[in-house]
Amino acid sequence: MDRSQLYGLIISQLKDDGYMSAARAVASATMQDPDHEHDPHALSRMLQSPQRNPKRSSSARPSASATRVDLETRFITTHKGLCRTACYSADGAFVATGSEDTTLKLLDVSKMGSAQQAGDEASRPVTRAFYDHTHAVHCVAFHPSGTTLASGSADHTIKMFDTMAANKRAGSSITDSHSVNSIAYHPSGELLLAGTDHGAPHMYHLKQPNQCYLPHETTHHTGRITGVHFSQDGSLYASCSEDGAIRVWDGASSAAVMELPGAHDGREVWSVVFSKDGTQLLSSGADSTSKVWDVRAAKQVRVYQGATHRSHAVNTCWDRDENLIFSHDDASNSIVAWDAKSGQVLAKKRTDHKQGARCVVASPTDRCLMTCSDDFRARFWVF
């Protein structure tokens, strides 16, 4: 039993005993829904049952629960509009979130991890807030150095913010011809890739930000681009689109290298990300599956099922070791965790977001992740 379930049982027992004010106080402190119905006698039955502690031989095989992923919310931050994007810095020290309220927040991961409860603002995890967009923030990305935070917006701009300076406004910006849906830095930090409502990935050299470089027109997507990502060595980049295709491009020439048409049964593809060694791609789509692809062979390696993605776009991500895969299930409003090798569902944890999560991102260095939701909130989880 995780803490969220335990808190729910305590709240139900207090309500059944007539301590309504105490029940609501516990619900408020633990960020639980005070009106959610639990069996009011479950806690007392559990306490009255005999304790069992069977001895195990050292040669016994680990049980299935040994591979279970236990997710726990440690901190919640709230925007004033829909929260739909987040990313970690390369060193895992910070998380940035972006919202339709046009703002970005910079959060200290260590402070979120040490928060005493989910709503604990005393530890001040939110270190900075940035304001410079005029429309919704769709995507965020840290420069490899970690000192610059970039954001793409429906206002057709990409803004660059200095995370070390006191200025809350962007130090520089790029004006694009289309709404910006996804951005990614080249590992060198000299190039910025943008996926927009246009069918071609837009490449910018940061020393010449007014010049946009496009692949050959015959290789463009036929729908808006929903995701872009560089391989870790920068030799390749990938794009995915509402046209149902995933494309891989040469990182230097932007020549088309590989195409996966109809990658998710012809449905929209929501996200694409390279594995650390650049040999595989992880994607999510409107067919309610996540998939791993072999880049060289242009073939599907594995399918992950158990998370509905039909009502809105949501991404899929690897954990730091690429042993786990995370996404969100619309049907149960849950985070889903799979074993990356077997495809087995290891966990399905209700998020307690009041609306569905639109973004799930895992830390590159630690066992933690962030979810962003249309309920205006971003939740920090440990597992």
- pLDDT tens across 321-365, in order? 999 999 999 999 999 999 999 999 999 999 999 998 999 999 999
Largest separation between any pair of C-alpha atoms in the chain: 72
The dihedral over CA atoms of 304, 308, 310, 316, expressed in degrees to the nearest 10, equals -50
Burial of 134 (0-12, 13-18, 19+ CB in 10 A): exposed
Q: Tell me the two tokens of residue 252.
A: 């230097």
pLDDT of residue 60: 36
Half-sphere exposure of 72 (CA within 13 A, CB side): 20
Cα angle value 170/150/313 (rounded, 5°): 130
pLDDT single digits (tens) 183-217: 999 999 999 999 999 999 999 999 999 899 999 98
What is the C-alpha end-to-end distance of the chain, expressed in Å?
14
* Whole-number Cα distances in Å, 3 to 10, 11, 51, 366: 10, 12, 19, 21
Query: In terms of pTM, does the model score above 0.85?
Result: no
Low-confidence ranges of the chain (pLDDT < 50): 49-66
DSSP string over 79-95: -SS-EEEEEE-TTSSEE
* Whole-number Cα distances in Å, 275 to 214, 240, 264, 321: 25, 16, 19, 10
Residue for token digits 């990305």?
141
Distance from chain centroid for Cα 269 = 16
